[in-house]
Structure 1
Amino acid sequence: MADTNSKQPKSSSRREFLKNSGIALGGLMVGGVLGGSLFGSKKAEVEKVVEKSVNYNQALMFFNQEQFQLTEAACERIFPQDEHGPGAKELGVAFYIDHQLASPWGINAKDYMTGPFYPGEPTQGMQTSLKRAEIFTLGLQGLADYSKKKYNKRFTDLTEAEQDETLKVFEAGKEYQLAGTSTTGFFSLLRSMTIEGVYADPMYGGNKDMQGWKMRNYPGNQMSFAKDIEKDEFMKIEPKSLHDHMGH
């Protein structure tokens, strides 16, 4: 007859092995026996990496790198850094535009986009069968082509004065024409999206650290103003993003 007591050390040994190796619920027991031996003096380093904040909004969804850099440079001339605060580049406006163009808004998902198409009156804005993402792509290529033709340089390599002059040509819409759309229409879209990116909620990719709001003393998305609504003096309130209210 087998001695059941002889199995106890083996079973106990197996449990100890599983415990010490951290194989519990399919995971590694960091901070346990193995965790301590693996990380040792580097434990603080690991914790630092885990705690490091990462802005996952700063990832391209539509642009390639060249288009992104071109957009970033053009937006900075529309909303440049000055003594009042950061410009479009630091605020992450190009990421905001990238995300919008990658969204249903970029393909005019909620707009009627079936013909017939007629030229619009000046007061009606641009009338086109092209989607916003297509207009922006053509406009960026136009900026690149015009810069090469006029200055024999990339738009991103132009001086600030040359970049401003190029954007003025596109705004006027007379000296240079785009195939399939107008420079004026593209510039109008670029300008409006730049301003949106400066002041939109940071959840959408721009207005980094709510700096656009802070420059305007705008409170952002507060839950309530009930305790301050009847005060006579100007209230400077620390702004809040929609993200700050998640889970409330």
Structure 2
Amino acid sequence: MSDNEKSQIEKRGSTRRTFLKNSGLAVGGLILGGAVGSIFDGNSDSDVKTEQKNQTQGNNPNEALMFFYPEEYQTTAAAAERIFPKDETGPGALELNAAIYIDHQLNSGWGVNEKDYKLGPYYKPEPTQGEQVKLYRKDLFRLGLKELNAYSNKNYQKKFTDLDATGQDEVLAAFEKGEASSLSGVSSSAFFQLLRTLTIEGVYADPLYGGNKEMLGWQMRKYPGSRMGYTKEIQSKDFVKLDPNSLQSHMKH
């Protein structure tokens, strides 16, 4: 093979590697690691949007999108951050990958209510029973995200992710009160409650499920995480401070 032919092959290989790197190629339908970061190219200088761009860069398979489309992920990440914002005590939902946790849950059997009884007859619930939702959780969540942007565009002439923190809080408050349009017959408050519950879970669940990045949520609460036992610590006369331990740590042994 001539030197010129070798040069052409190397050039094609380099070009292909550059394309894969820049395009965020999806493997098996999943957007992986740094590819997730590439979906947040915007012109905003806000810290939140910078975090949205950078938070999922890396090679952790737990940070792969499984359910959301990129814009849905952006909206979820922004909404979750307003529910659990970053402050002086520690990181917020965005940095803790709560939206990744939500994505994974909605893509699981839980997202299609696989363990719930869904057959009729249906009765009007009592006020103490809460709203009885017939939609799959994944469908309710997707409808809710769509309505977040519709409500924002109608009342603020901007999509949800383009609003400032105050505007986003006002939109979420309207959803919590059920003031937004219904979602296939379901109150917007049902979506808000689902979003809030999943956000808190994503902040504090074991990192094995995609959220609570680097166990920072546990560190804020000084929670020791998953351990096989505490016999040694109980027998100690001194106070023992334990660093967080995840389920994944048990898989290494």
Structure-1 separation of matches of 2:227 and 2:189 = 37
Structure-2 separation of matches of 1:147 and 1:231 = 56
Summarize the alignment of residues 164-203 of structure 1 with structure 2, pairs less than 5 Å apart: 164-174=169-179, 176-203=181-208
Question: Structure 1 residues 135-144 or 234-243, which shifts more?
Answer: 234-243
Root-mean-square deviation (CA, aligned residues, Å) is 1.5
TM-superposed CA distance for 1:211, in Å, is 0.2
State percent identity of aligned pairs: 57
- Residues 224, 119 of structure 1: alpha-carbon distance in 2 compared, 3 angstrom cutoff: same
Secondary structure at the aligned position of 1:134 is classed as helix
1:61 equivalent to 2:63? Answer no
Q: Is the 8 A contact 2:111 2:136 kept in 1?
A: yes
- For 1:203, give the aligned amino acid: L
Which of 78, 81, 90 is matched with 2:86 structurally? 81
Gaps of 5+ in 2: 1-57
Summarize the alignment of residues 1-248 of structure 1 with structure 2, pairs less than 5 Å apart: 54-174=59-179, 176-231=181-236, 234-248=239-253
TM-superposed CA distance for 1:236, in Å, is 2.0
**Cα offsets for 1:158-209 (capped at 9, x unmatched):** 0100000100000011354333311111100000000000000000000000
- For 2:144, give the aligned amino acid: G
- For 1:131, give the aligned amino acid: Y
**Cα offsets for 1:95-148 (capped at 9, x unmatched):** 000000000000000111111222222221220211111110111111010000
Structure-2 separation of matches of 1:136 and 1:208 = 23
| Alignment coverage as a number of residue pairs | 196
Structure-2 separation of matches of 1:127 and 1:66 = 29
Secondary structure at the aligned position of 1:90 is classed as coil
Structure-2 separation of matches of 1:122 and 1:236 = 45
Q: Is the 8 A contact 2:180 2:188 kept in 1?
A: no
- Residues 231, 126 of structure 1: alpha-carbon distance in 2 compared, 3 angstrom cutoff: farther
- For 1:99, give the aligned amino acid: H
- Residues 161, 234 of structure 1: alpha-carbon distance in 2 compared, 3 angstrom cutoff: farther
For normalisation by structure 2, the TM-score amounts to 0.74
For normalisation by structure 1, the TM-score amounts to 0.76
Larger C-alpha radius of gyration, 1 or 2?
Answer: 1
Structure-2 separation of matches of 1:183 and 1:175 = 6
Structure-1 separation of matches of 2:150 and 2:208 = 33
TM-superposed CA distance for 1:80, in Å, is 0.3
Q: Is the 8 A contact 1:117 1:128 kept in 2?
A: no
Secondary structure at the aligned position of 1:89 is classed as coil
Q: Is the 8 A contact 2:140 2:183 kept in 1?
A: no
Q: Is the 8 A contact 1:169 1:176 kept in 2?
A: no
